[in-house]
Amino acid sequence: MIKKKMTTAFFALTMATGMLLTGCGGEEQAATKTKKEAAKSDEPVTLQFWDENAGPARTPVWEEVIKRFEEKNPNINVEYVGIPNSSAKSKYDAAIAADDMPDIGSVQTTWLPEFSIREALLPLDSHFEKSDISKKINPSATGVNKKITQDGKLYGIPYAQNLDALWIRTDWFEQASVQEPKTWDEFFTVIEKMRDQANNRYGFTIRGGAGASFTIQRAMFAYSGLDFFDKNGKTNINDPKHVEFVEKYFSYYDKLTPKSDITNGYKEMIAGFDTGVVAMVHHNPGSYGEHNKALPAGSYKLIPLPTTEKGQYVAEGGNAVNLAIFKSTEHADEAWKFVEFVNSEEAQSYWNQQTGQIPTNSDVLDDKWVQDAQHIKTAFEVYNNPDTKLYEPPFYLPDYRAILDGVVDPGVQAVMSGKMSAKDFLDEWAKAIEDSKAKYDQTFKK
């Protein structure tokens, strides 16, 4: 009997394996068939939506937005899929490579050129122009999205922007009677003044770990006010002004900023601020929720990054998140309805208020909560200031991100630990950008 049982089990297993192996072709046909049938029927449509930055702060907000959308569109279901930020890009990569994409995705601006060139996304120009939201959405944000793609089309509608800024401890500044820094010179003086050895307080914390490249790039362009490329198409990365800035900026490490800065990622950096160790941190309005939890109200606030010598604010273009529709969708019209809804005043207002990002829909500006939220208002004012300079990094270069991760991040640590000079670091960075650009230009602009 035992023998019989074991043999049966064994054969069942082998058969199952065999069926799986040969099942390939059949399953695929079946799948395409059901898809076609679904398209024909009038049954409720289900859209899959991927959130590229799921977390305790955002997931519930999206769920609420989706609920409101479904109430207005009873025949459309939106299925939320939350992906942790650190794995989102590779999840999209695999999905595109295997041609199994969602209907709608939340997509960072920097991914747009790549996804569009991989023919994963649907151009949204005609939908957008016909829609009311085209009059409301910040034109500079959509402008960047068009500029960076190869064919100049609009592949993503920005529903939230972000802006690098400084969080400061106002109570400490008052105690020490130090003024908020307006220029970079003042910024450096503040670092020195706010160092308080007795209380184990530092003036500033440098981001040296994950994400360091973004921070240093934005800080140095905010200092110089230069464009990413000069008139001859050479990059300004290693401009003497940047060398001067980077040298000074990192010279504070380990003397006037904490030693752990060299591996500081987002959470360590914010922890430094929230536990009362540093007086100033370079981040963005998005971390408001964390400070709100840890610090007493009124003891901190957001101020813009210092201005250039000419008194100009600088912001990096394309610091936004977008909704994109994937080409493989069978319900493009329904998907657009969702995109339109998320960008409506109501939804954007709710979403951005809850997550502490800056809305792109101009109607939201007048909302009371924006006027009351110091950090959002400040960031808004920077974007709305006609003199604010926007520079556009070449997101379209296929290895733009790889250069930031592979050359700039380690380079920052090398400079911080004194293994490399600021000039060598910036030269290396500039060369990587220029090599990549030359290769790209050769492919596309023959």
Partner 1 sequence: MSYSQGVTETVVNSNKAVNRKKIKKDKWVPYLFILPSFLIILGFLFYPIATVFYYSVQHYDVSAPYYNGFAGLENFKEIFTNDKMFIPSLMNSLKWVVTEVGLQLTFGMILALLLNQTFKFRGVIRAVAFIPWAISGVLASTMWSLMFNEHMGVLNDLLMKMGIVDEPQAFLASTSTAFTSVIIAELWRGIPFFAITLLASLSSIPVELYEAARVDGASRWKSFIYVTLPQLKNTIVLTTLLRVVWEFNNVDLLFNLTGGGPAHSTTTLTMYIADLAVHGSNFGYGSALTVVSFGILLVFAILYLKLSRYEKE
Partner 2 sequence: MFTANKKVDKLLTLYLPLTMLLSFTIFPIYWTLNTAFKPEGDIVKRPLQYMPINPTTENFVTAWTNVGFATFFKNSLIVGVSTVLVVLVCSTLSGYALSRYQFKGKRSFMIMLLCTQFIPRAMMIIPLFVIFKNLGLISNPLSLIITYTAIEIPFTTILMSGFISNVPKELEEAAVIDGCTKLQALRFVVFPLLLPGIVATGVFTFIYTWNEFLIALMLTNQQSKFTLPVGLSTMMGEFSINYGALAAGSVIALIPAVILFAYAQKHLVNGMGGAVKG
- How many CA atoms are closer than 13 Å to the CA of 70, on its beta-carbon side? 15
Q: Please report where in the chains the tokens 């602009």 appear, as a residue.
A: 445
125: nearest Cα among 396, 336, 341: 336
Residue 118, CA distances (Å) to 22, 92, 113, 213, 331 in order = 30, 12, 9, 26, 20
Is 203 a residue that touches partner 1 (CB under 8 A)? Answer: no
Q: x/- contact string, 36-55, with partner 2 (CB under 8 A)?
A: ------------x----xxx
Helix (H) or strand (E) holding 103: none
Distance between CA 263 and CA 402 in Å, rounded?
19
Q: Which is nearer to partner 2, 50 or 252 (CB)?
A: 50
In the window 211-270, what residues touch partner 2 (CB under 8 A)? 266-267
Q: Pick from partner 2, partner 1, none: which does 417 bind, CB < 5 to 8 A by kind?
A: partner 1
Tell which one of 9, 15, 39, 438 touches partner 2 (CB under 8 A): 9
Q: Pick from partner 1, partner 2, none: which does 95 bind, CB < 5 to 8 A by kind?
A: partner 2
CB contact at 8 A, 52 and 105: yes
Is 410 a residue that touches partner 2 (CB under 8 A)? Answer: no
Q: x/- contact string, 300-339, with partner 1 (CB under 8 A)?
A: ----------------------------------------
Is 31 a residue that touches partner 1 (CB under 8 A)? Answer: no
CA dihedral 206, 210, 216, 219 (to 10 degrees): -70
Distance between CA 302 and CA 422 in Å, rounded?
29
Q: Pick from partner 2, partner 1, none: which does 28 bind, CB < 5 to 8 A by kind?
A: partner 2
Is 14 a residue that touches partner 2 (CB under 8 A)? Answer: no
Query: Using only C-alpha atoms, what is the Rg of the chain?
Result: 25
Is 131 a residue that touches partner 2 (CB under 8 A)? Answer: no
Q: Please report where in the chains the tokens 């109501």 appear, as a residue.
A: 346
Q: Which is nearer to partner 1, 233 or 406 (CB)?
A: 406
Collapsing DSSP states into helix, strand and coil, what is residue 285?
helix
Distance between CA 326 and CA 100 in Å, rounded?
10
Q: Pick from partner 2, partner 1, none: which does 123 bind, CB < 5 to 8 A by kind?
A: none
Give me the residues that bind partner 2 (CB under 8 A), please.
Answer: 2-3, 6, 9-10, 13, 20, 23-24, 27-28, 30-31, 48, 53-60, 79-87, 90-91, 93-95, 97-100, 102, 266-267, 271, 274-276, 286-287, 289-290, 293-294, 355-356
